[in-house]
Structures are given as structure tokens and as C-alpha cells.
Amino acid sequence: MTKEEILQRLPYTPPFLFVDALEYIDEEKVIGSYTFDAQMPCYKGHFSDYPVTPGVLLTEVMAQTGLVCLGIYLLRDTLTAHTPRVAMTATYIDFYLSVFPGETVTVHAEKVYFRFGKLKCSVVLKNASGEDICGGTIEGMIINKPNE
């Protein structure tokens, strides 16, 4: 499965799609990037005089790349015609730096384990200078059957 095919299988569309590109993916890790559009509505109110990307969106960027893209790749040989669903089950994220409108971030995620449909990843979000913005672990269930 190619990186482009993985992106096409994501169960998201704009304005809730937070993966622009995948730079690398294999059985153990994935690297992907996303640029925060300076016109996103969240910047009008978070914070009104000093716009900063909400932590929940930074977590979502890491989940869509580190959990969903990697999960699709790991299930590539068993995927059915429908789009797989993902249920996030746990997160633990430490935040270090802010992300501002227009900034590009890169997700580095490594599989901790994948068994019984549950994927746990260690994730780090980096800025264009290579500094860690935030990081931790994300876990979720990858649901590959249409009626589950």
C-alpha cells in the first residue's frame, strides 16, 4: 500500500483532516506532516489577542498520523472496501512549545504494540526547527469490519 493510498483511506475530510503528507511508513513507525492554515476558525478565539493552536488539535494531528495512518498500513492486507474506523482509547501527552497559525509540524510515531485490534504508539510532534512541541502515547482501536 502506498502512502497516497493510505491518505485516501483516512476516515476524515476537511476541515477535520490533519495529515497533509506521509514522508515515511513501515511496520514500526510513521512520519507525517501537517500545516495549520492561519485562517482556521479556532485562531479567532484561542486566544483572541495571541492565537495559538489548541492542544486538542495537536493531539489530533498526532493521532491521525501516528494511530490511524499506521493502523491502516498495519491492516493493509486485510482491509475491506469500507473505510476503517478508529476509536481513541487513551492519550498521555506532555506539551512543551506552542504552535502558531501557518506553522508546519511533523509527527514521528513508533508502534509500541498492535494486538487484538488495539494499537499503542509513542508519538512526538516537532516544529520546522526539529524541536519537540509535545509528545507521549496514544492508544486506539482500529475497527476493520463495517458492522462493529
Report if residue 17 sits inside a domain: yes
C-alpha distances in Å from residue 129, one per residue of 67, 126, 136: 24, 8, 19
Residue 148 lies in a domain: no
Q: Which of 25-34, 44-53, 82-91, 125-134 has the lowest mean pLDDT?
A: 82-91
pTM (2 d.p.): 0.94
Q: Is residue 113 part of a domain?
A: yes
For residue 146, what pLDDT band results from cuts at 50, 70 and 90?
low
Percent of the chain scored above 70 by pLDDT?
95
- Report if residue 49 sits inside a domain: yes
Tell whether 110 is covered by a domain.
yes
Least confident of 69-73, 82-86, 88-92, 123-127: 82-86
CATH number at residue 81: 3.10.129.10
pLDDT at 50: 93
pLDDT at 36 over 70: yes
Residue 86 lies in a domain: yes
46 has catalytic annotation = yes
Residue 65 lies in a domain: yes
Q: Do the domain assignments include residue 15? A: yes
- The pLDDT score that the predictor gives to residue 148 is 55
Mean pLDDT, residues 71-84 taken together: 81
Q: How many domains does the chain have?
A: 1
Q: What is the pLDDT of residues 100-123, one digit of tens each?
A: 999 999 999 999 999 988 999 999
β-pair partners for 87: 141
* 108 three-class SS: strand
Q: Of 29, 46, 118, 120, which residue is the catalytic one? A: 46
- Cell numbers for 75, please give them: 491492516
> How big is the chain, counted in residues?
148
**What's the domain range around 115?**
3-143
Give the helix/strand (H/E) hosting 6. helix 3-9
Whether the CB-CB separation of 32 and 107 falls below 8 Å is answered with: yes
**Rounded to 5°, angle at Cα 55 from 49 and 56:** 120
Q: Which residues contact 116 (CB under 8 A, 6 or more apart)?
A: none
